[in-house]
Amino acid sequence: MQKMSLTALAREQLLAARSAASGRSAKTVFGGHEQVLRQTVIALASGQALEEHDSPGEATLHVLHGRVRLDTADASWNGSAGDLLIIPPARHGLTALEDAAVLLTVAKIG
């Protein structure tokens, strides 16, 4: 059994994102590419984005801090701290509307 504070991880990753040239930082907290389930804390400084990319499988975003916008070609959804966004199985991107940290949970298909 392991226990970790997502609040503390979000704070650490936000500090790293603010000082990174890319304005981003991420840390996988559970699983990995060789496992079905992977959870990653991703932090983005305000205005930074993860450009449009394919969905890697079933996925959700739990907003831990700040505000984000999830965009597809057909729709967009805003999320604030405490919100859970279901990532559609389509190309999508993520933009930080203010300094933000999210927990990305992915279950790879097949």
Per-residue model confidence as pLDDT tens digits over 41-62: 999 999 999 999 888 789 999 9
CA distance 52 to 9: 25
| Structural domain contains residue 13 | yes
> Is 77 inside any structural domain?
yes
Rounded-to-integer distance, Cα 49 and Cα 39, Å? 19
Which CATH number characterizes residue 65's domain? 2.60.120.10
95, part of any domain:
yes
Residue 65's nearest CA partner among 99, 106, 27 is 99
Cβ-contact 95, 69 below 8 angstroms: yes
In terms of C-beta density within 10 A (0-12 exposed, 13-18 middle, 19 or more buried), how is residue 82 classed?
exposed
Total number of domains constituting the chain:
1
34 DSSP 8-state letter: T
In a domain, 1, yes or no: no
**Per-residue pLDDT at 110:** 62
Which tens digit of pLDDT belongs to each residue from 76-109? 999 999 999 999 988 999 999 999 999 999 998 7
First to last CA, the chain: 28
Whether 35 is covered by a domain: the verdict is yes
Please report, for residues 3, 36, 67, 102, the alpha-carbon distance to residue 50 in angstroms, rounded to integers and kept in the order given.
Answer: 28, 22, 14, 12
Domain that holds residue 22: 6-108
